[in-house]
Structure 1
């Protein structure tokens, strides 16, 4: 298959019924810390404020994190609630700090986010563009507004915004017309962002989840890697976002998967079975995870693009129709290059 034919196939994928799934790889491409950087941050900062009991647990966890990685270590040795709270705080601290730096560049017009460029080429569905992300940061929301779109996160209000899906959706209504006995609503084009692992702007207030865009010296509602991730996903607002994410996945007619490793219990009960069932899927990532590689190698409805090298040249390694090919000199796995090379005329 030549590059021209490959581009035509990829272009045809961007049609109605597309659901985009975004993992940490896309945020890392923008400069946010990945698991390795987060583990290093925890190792160097968390112990100072821990109780004696939690310090003892952490002393056992630290070498496991170095050997196994952060999530595997936390699965092997579940943290206490107080240690988990400290991990959440330090995780949010690191991500929020780097997020501020990126947002400053976007605000000053010295940076355009990859997802902003991509949104210009996604079909503007009447019900909104569904995006499911396991990330805590707000780069998807910022990218959408920079693309001139609204953002529906199921919260309503700027200060301590409350969780109300219906009010949030209706806030984007721009016109109501009556045609015979039928009422028609016209909505502003928007991105529906579903975050089953939480968000940096989610807090608790009076026992209820609220959304506040600024930094508060309070615990944020995010689910960190480890054994408690699945349990915590059934508490508000995680449960509602998880339900809406899975509902979008169940209705999708095709998937675009960006920097996601297929390692999350909250989504895998819906996403992977649908892909295995034949839903056309395009994966873009720097390096395919083991689970992603199995999907690509075992299912001809999956096109997977990752970084690759051949004959001393860098480029893209592509799995299509369960066969592998190499495209030199083009980083098609990166959303930036993908948009410019495949989607732009």
Structure 2
């Protein structure tokens, strides 16, 4: 396959029924910390927050984190509730501080987020374009507003916004007309953002989840990786966001997957079987994880692009119908480059 045919193939993927899944790779590309950097930060600061009892458990976890990484360590040793609270607090604040730096640049119009550029090329159905992200940050929401779109997160209100899916959807209704006996609803173009792992602006208030965009001393509602992750995922609002994400996956005609490693139990029960059933899938990532590579090798419906050094230059490794081709000098795996080369030629 030559480069022209490859680009034509990729362009045709952006059609009806597309569900986009965004992992930490895209946030890291914008400058947010990944798991390795978060682990280093926790190693440096978290002891200051712990009681002697929890410090003893951290002493067990700390060498495991250094040896295996944060996710693997928390899968091996479940933290106590107090230690988990401290991990959530330090992780959330670390990401929020870095996010603030990016947001200031976007606000000053000195930076355009990659996802803002991408949204111009996604179809927006009347029901909203479904975006599923395992990230805690708000860059998807910010990117959508910068693209002139509404953002439906199922929360209603600016201060302590409540989780109300029905009211949130109606908030985007712009016109209701009656044609004969049929009622027609016209909605603002929007994205529906589903965040099964939580968000930096989710908190608890009076026993229920709320959304507040500022920083509070109250614990953020985010799920850390590890043994407690699956249990916590069945609490509100994680459960509703997970259900909506899985419903979108089940109805998808095709997938666009950006910077996601296929290591999440909450999504994999639906996503991987759908891909294996033959749903066309385009995967963009700096490096394919072992789980992603297994799908690429077994599923001819998966087109995957990752970073590669080709002939001594920075290029891309592209898998089409389980066969690998090398593309020199073009970073097609990187979203900005992909948009420039494929969607805005």
- What range is the shorter-chain TM-score in? over 0.9
- Map of 1:91 onto structure 2: 91
SS of 1:20's equivalent in the other structure is strand
Matched, 1:243 2:243: yes
Q: Deviations over 1:274-300 (max 9, x none)?
A: 000000000000011000011011111
- Map of 2:325 onto structure 1: 325
Give runs of aligned pairs for residues 212-227 of structure 1, distance below 5 A.
212-227=212-227
Q: CA RMSD in A?
A: 0.5
Q: Deviations over 1:262-321 (max 9, x none)?
A: 000000000000000000000000011000011011111000000001221210011111
For 2:112 and 2:211, locate their aligned partners in 1 and report how far apart those are by CA, in whole Å: 25
- Map of 1:233 onto structure 2: 233
Tell me, yes or no, if the aligned pair for 2:310 and 2:316 is still in contact at 8 Å.
no
SS of 1:269's equivalent in the other structure is helix
Give runs of aligned pairs for residues 11-160 of structure 1, distance below 5 A.
11-160=11-160
Structure 1, unmatched stretches of 5+, are none
For 1:344 and 1:128, locate their aligned partners in 2 and report how far apart those are by CA, in whole Å: 23
Give runs of aligned pairs for residues 146-225 of structure 1, distance below 5 A.
146-225=146-225
Q: Deviations over 1:207-263 (max 9, x none)?
A: 000000000111000001111110000000000000000000000000000000000
Tell me, yes or no, if the aligned pair for 2:176 and 2:185 is still in contact at 8 Å.
yes
For 1:282 and 1:250, locate their aligned partners in 2 and report how far apart those are by CA, in whole Å: 17
SS of 2:217's equivalent in the other structure is coil
Give runs of aligned pairs for residues 248-259 of structure 1, distance below 5 A.
248-259=248-259
SS of 2:303's equivalent in the other structure is strand
SS of 2:318's equivalent in the other structure is strand
For 1:28 and 1:297, locate their aligned partners in 2 and report how far apart those are by CA, in whole Å: 26
Structure 2, unmatched stretches of 5+, are none
For 1:336 and 1:173, locate their aligned partners in 2 and report how far apart those are by CA, in whole Å: 32
SS of 2:225's equivalent in the other structure is coil
Tell me, yes or no, if the aligned pair for 2:315 and 2:327 is still in contact at 8 Å.
yes
For 2:343 and 2:297, locate their aligned partners in 1 and report how far apart those are by CA, in whole Å: 25
For 1:310 and 1:211, locate their aligned partners in 2 and report how far apart those are by CA, in whole Å: 46
For 1:319 and 1:65, locate their aligned partners in 2 and report how far apart those are by CA, in whole Å: 33
Q: What's the offset of the Cα at 1:91?
A: 0.4
- What TM-score, normalized to structure 1? 0.99
SS of 1:58's equivalent in the other structure is helix
For 1:205 and 1:57, locate their aligned partners in 2 and report how far apart those are by CA, in whole Å: 29
For 2:334 and 2:167, locate their aligned partners in 1 and report how far apart those are by CA, in whole Å: 36
For 1:152 and 1:47, locate their aligned partners in 2 and report how far apart those are by CA, in whole Å: 38
Q: Deviations over 1:102-131 (max 9, x none)?
A: 000000000000000000000111110000
- What TM-score, normalized to structure 2? 0.99
Moved over 2 A (4+): none
- Map of 2:262 onto structure 1: 262
Q: What's the offset of the Cα at 1:198?
A: 0.2
SS of 2:135's equivalent in the other structure is coil
SS of 1:231's equivalent in the other structure is helix
SS of 1:159's equivalent in the other structure is coil
For 1:55 and 1:109, locate their aligned partners in 2 and report how far apart those are by CA, in whole Å: 44
SS of 2:314's equivalent in the other structure is strand
SS of 2:159's equivalent in the other structure is coil
Q: Deviations over 1:60-112 (max 9, x none)?
A: 11110011110100111110000000000010011000000000000000000
For 1:312 and 1:344, locate their aligned partners in 2 and report how far apart those are by CA, in whole Å: 27
